[in-house]
Amino acid sequence: MDTATTPAGKGITAAKQQKEDLEFLWKWRKYLLLLATLVASVTYAAGLNPPGGVRSDEVPPLPAAYPDRVGDPVLLTTNERRYTAFFYCNAAAFIASLVVIMFLLDRRISDNSVGLTVLRSAMLLDLLALMAAFTAGSCRDVAASAYVSALFALVFACVAVHVHVHKAREKQAAATSLADKARGEPAAATSPSDKARGEPAAATSPMEKAGERPAAAATSRADKFLLLLATFATPLTYGAGLVPPGGFWSQTEAGHLAGAPLLHDGPYKIRYNVFFYANANSFVASLAIIMLLMSRTLMSGSLARSHALPVCVLVELLGLMAAFAAGSCRRIDTTVYVVCLAGLVLLSIVLQAKAMYTFEQWRAYVRRALTCANLELEQEPDTPPGNSRGDSGEVRVDRTSTIQNWQVDKVEESRSLLLLLATLAATVTYQAGLSPPGGVWPDNHDPGHPDHIPGNPILLDMHPKRYKVFYYCNTAAFVASVVIIIIVQSKELSSPATIRRAALKTAMVLNLFGLMGAYVAGSFRDAPTTIYVFSLAVAVFVYL
C-alpha cells in the first residue's frame, strides 16, 4: 500500500507542502513588503482623493446637505453605485495590504497553517479588490467597464488553464510512476522541468548539476527584476487610471457630466481613449506578472515561463509608453515626437539583439572550426569548467573560476541597481508627464481667453518655452528609463560587456540630465532661481 494514500502519508505531504509554500513566500518577502506598502499608499491616497474629484461649490438651495456640500465626492451624486463599489473595494485593498504587511513583518504569525491561510487570503483579497476598485473608479461608461472586466477575466482564465495543465501533467507523472513500481522498475529521478512536463529525467551528472545551479540562480534573479518592475507599475497605473490627465469636470453643464474626465468630453476624446486603454492594459499586465511570479504551480511549468511572462512584460512596457504619449501632451507634433522616439529606441534594441545573436553564432562557428578535437577529448566530462582534479580525485576550484564568479556577482549587483534607478525614474517621469507642473485649465476658465482649453497645461499657455523644455526633458528621461529597463531585463543585452557599453552609459546620462532639465524648467518660474539651480547641477557634475 502506498504511504501517500494513507492518512499519515497525506498529513506528511500536507505539512511538507505548507513548509514549501511558506519558504516560497518568505523568499519573496521584501518584494511583497514593497508591493504591499506601495498598494497601501496608493489606495490610501485614492480614498482621500476619490476619482471624479470633490465639490468646490455647494449646490443650491443653501444650506446644502450631504452629498452636495463643498468637499463631498462628486461621483457620489452623479453615479452613486460606481462610487460605492469603488469605495468599498479600495478600502478592502487598503486593509488587505496592511494585513499582508503585518504578517510578513513577523514570521511567527504566518509560520503555521492558519497564518499561512490568512496571508494567502489577504493577498488574494488585495488583488481582487484592487481590480474591482480600478474598474469602478476609472471607467464612466459600460463599454470601458466591460473591456477592463474582460481583461481581468482573460488573465484569470489563462491562470486557470495553466494550473489545470500543470495538475494534469502531475497526475500523469504520478500514474506513470505507480505503473513503473507495479512492474518492478525503479522510478527515475525527475527534475523540476520534467515534473512540470510529467516526464522522468535521466540521472544527472555532477557537471550537469553544477551547470543547473547558475542557471536556476539567473532565473531567480530575472524573476526578481520582473517583480520589481511590476511592483512599481501596478500602483502607478492604478493612480493614473483613477485620476487621469486633465482632471475632471466640476459641474454638470453643456452636456458635460460632473466627475467625468475633462479630456473625455472635450476635443481630446480620442487621445483620452488611447490613454485609458493603454494604461488599463499596462495595469492588467502588471497584475498578471505578479500572479505568475507569486505562484509556485505556475512558475514550475515551462509554458508560463516561456510565453506568459514575456508577453505580459511587453504589454506592460508598450502600454506605459502609449499611455504616456497620449496623456502627457495635447498637440499632434509632440505626440509624433514621443512615438517616433520610442519607436527608434525599440528598433535599435531589436537590431542590437539581432546583431549580438548573429555575432554569437559566427563566434561559435569559428571556435568549432579552430578547436582541435583531441583538445576537447582531454578534458574530463565530470569536472566542471574552471576546476581540476587532484591525485586523490577531489575537485579543486581554480582561482580563475573564483574571479569570474566575483565578476558575475558584481554585474548582477550593477543590474539590480540600474533597474531600481530606472524604475524609479520611469515612475516619477510618468506621473510628471500626466500631471504637469502648474496644473491644467479647469472647466470654469476665464471667458476672456477662449484659447485656454479645459484640460490643457497652464504652463504651456503662460510660459510656452519653459513648458517645452520641461516636456522634452521629461520625455527623454522617461524613454531613457524604459530603455535601461529593457536592456537590463534582457540576458543578452545586459551581458558584462554591455554593462560597460557606451549605449547603456548614454541612456543613463540622458536619464539623469533629462531629470535635471525637467526639474529646473518645471519647478521655477523666474530666471534667477533657474540659473542658480542649473549652475549648481553643472558644478556637481564637474566635481564628479
Residue 129's contacts (CB-CB under 8 Å, 6 or more residues apart) are: 89, 90, 92, 93, 96
Instruction: Locate 98 and state its grid cell.
Output: 496592511
Cα 533 from Cα 544, distance rounded (Å): 17
Domain boundaries, the chain: 402-544
Helix ranges restricted to H, 294-398:
296-299, 302-303, 309-327, 332-370, 373-378
For the cut 60, the answer to whether the pLDDT of residue 379 exceeds it is no
For the cut 70, the answer to whether the pLDDT of residue 500 exceeds it is no
What is the structure's pLDDT at 280? Answer: 93
How does pLDDT run across 162-175, given as a tens digit for each residue? Answer: 777 777 777 787 77
List residues bridging with 387 in a β-sheet.
Answer: 397
List residues bridging with 256 in a β-sheet.
Answer: 253
For the cut 70, the answer to whether the pLDDT of residue 418 exceeds it is yes
Could you tell me if 390 and 382 are in contact, meaning their C-beta atoms sit under 8 angstroms apart? no
End-to-end CA distance of the chain: 73
For the cut 50, the answer to whether the pLDDT of residue 94 exceeds it is yes
Crossing angle for the helix pair 399-434 and 206-242, to the nearest 10 degrees: 10
What is the structure's pLDDT at 118? Answer: 86
**Which one is predicted more confidently, 395 or 262?**
262
Query: φ and ψ at 104, to 5 degrees?
Result: -85, -20
Rounded average pLDDT over 250-260: 72
Query: φ and ψ at 243, to 5 degrees?
Result: -125, 85
The DSSP code sequence of 96-115 is: HHHHHHHHHH-HHHHSSHHH
Element (H, E) at 88: helix 80-105
For the cut 70, the answer to whether the pLDDT of residue 506 exceeds it is yes
Cα–Cα distances (Å) from 476 to 236, 318, 473, in that order, read 19, 16, 5
Rounded average pLDDT over 247-270: 76
Rounded average pLDDT over 226-247: 86
Rounded average pLDDT over 67-73: 69
For the cut 90, the answer to whether the pLDDT of residue 49 exceeds it is no
Element (H, E) at 126: helix 113-138
pLDDT over 70 percentage in the chain? 69
Residue 519 — pLDDT band, cuts 50, 70, 90? confident
Cα 407 from Cα 496, distance rounded (Å): 8
Cα 479 from Cα 390, distance rounded (Å): 54
Rounded average pLDDT over 337-346: 77
Whole-prediction pTM: 0.72
Residue 265's contacts (CB-CB under 8 Å, 6 or more residues apart) are: 249, 255, 256, 257
Residue 402's contacts (CB-CB under 8 Å, 6 or more residues apart) are: none
Residue 403's contacts (CB-CB under 8 Å, 6 or more residues apart) are: none
For the cut 80, the answer to whether the pLDDT of residue 311 exceeds it is yes
Rounded average pLDDT over 308-321: 86
CB neighbours of residue 299 within 10 Å: 21
Cα 157 from Cα 163, distance rounded (Å): 10
What is the structure's pLDDT at 69? Answer: 67
For the cut 80, the answer to whether the pLDDT of residue 14 exceeds it is no
Rounded average pLDDT over 91-100: 93
Lowest mean pLDDT of 4-8, 226-230, 289-293, 449-453, name the range.
Answer: 4-8
Lowest mean pLDDT of 34-38, 83-87, 130-134, 164-168, name the range.
Answer: 164-168
Question: Which of 42-46, 421-425, 481-485 ranks highest by mean pLDDT?
Answer: 42-46
What is the structure's pLDDT at 59? Answer: 53
Could you tell me if 432 and 522 are in contact, meaning their C-beta atoms sit under 8 angstroms apart? yes
Cα 210 from Cα 383, distance rounded (Å): 9
The single residue listed with the C-alpha cell 517621469 is 429
Q: Supply the mean pLDDT for the chain.
A: 75
What is the structure's pLDDT at 305? Answer: 56
**Which one is predicted more confidently, 300 or 533?**
533
Lowest mean pLDDT of 49-58, 189-198, 259-268, 528-537, name the range.
Answer: 189-198
CB neighbours of residue 143 within 10 Å: 10
